[in-house]
Amino acid sequence: MAVENGVQAAAALFGEEELREVSGVRVGEGFVEVTCGCTSARYGDAVGRLRVFASGELEVSCDCTPGCNQEKLSPAAFEKHSGRETAGKWQNTVWVIVKGDKVALSKTALLKYYKKLKSANGGGNGGNGGRRHRDEFVRCAGCGKERRFRLRTKDECRLYHDAAARHDWTCKDMAPSRVSCEDEEERASRKASRGCARAAACEGCMRCVCFGCETCRFAGCGCQLCVDFYRNASMN
């Protein structure tokens, strides 16, 4: 079964026993994905796919209706999107299916990396105040289409940083086989979702807009943004 194969491949993130009976397990590079959902008394079950990253980040792609295009939602945003009447307790209201039953995330091992991240950030209020980098877009010089860059790690930030600095950047400069000029551009409604932990369609706030940190600035880069960041850091 696909689930059994996924459990074996996900050993680096979770033990076999932690995922053995969880439905919809799929393994990607650096993450594990499972079927999830949230139940509203009025609208019923909203089903989605939860991705758990080793960094502690959690992302939900919603499949509540055939036309829903909400992706990269935080669990809290997914809970709100589902129409749940008592929002704000997503760890208990967002569920996964274990042995055929709906089980709250808080009762599974799927939050262990999230809890480590939260603890490292002082409960979510320390460090950078719980900020995460939202997704950004770069326009291809060839086809004119905008392409999404996901900014969760330093490597991903560097890819975007270098692409944004180039006037001749094209789709073929992305990771091999990821996208080509022939591929359709994301719809405007999908572009509106850029990974903010506060609100799915956030246009920019203190939680998702970063003006410079160790993750998105680079000591070996000669651009003015990076030079100024490290110059200011050395003076503090």
Percentage, residues of the chain above pLDDT 70: 85
Distance from C-alpha of 27 to C-alpha of 51, rounded to nearest angstrom: 9
| 3-12, 86-95, 200-209: range with lowest mean pLDDT | 3-12
Any idea what the Cα angle at residue 61 is, between residues 123 and 31, rounded to 5°?
A: 65
**Mean pLDDT: which of 4-18, 34-48, 195-209 is highest?**
34-48
176 band by pLDDT with thresholds 50, 70 and 90 = low
Please count the residues of the chain: 236
pTM over 0.75: no
- 73 pLDDT band (50/70/90 cuts)? confident
Q: What percent of the chain has pLDDT over 90?
A: 32
Task: Name the residue among 44, 36, 35 with its Cα closest to residue 83.
Answer: 44
Q: Which amino acid, residue 36?
A: C
The mean pLDDT of 59-74, rounded to a whole number, is 84
Phi, psi for residue 149 in degrees, rounded to 5: -120, 125
Q: What band does 29 get if pLDDT is binned at 50, 70 and 90?
A: confident
Tokens representing 71?
């992706």
25: pLDDT strictly greater than 70: yes
131 pLDDT band (50/70/90 cuts)?
low
CB of 70 closer than 8 Å to CB of 62: yes
Q: What is the DSSP letter of 158?
A: H
Say which residues have a Cβ less than 8 Å from residue 21's Cβ, sequence separation at least 6.
Answer: 98, 99
What is the Cα–Cα distance from 162 to 167, expressed in whole angstroms?
Answer: 10
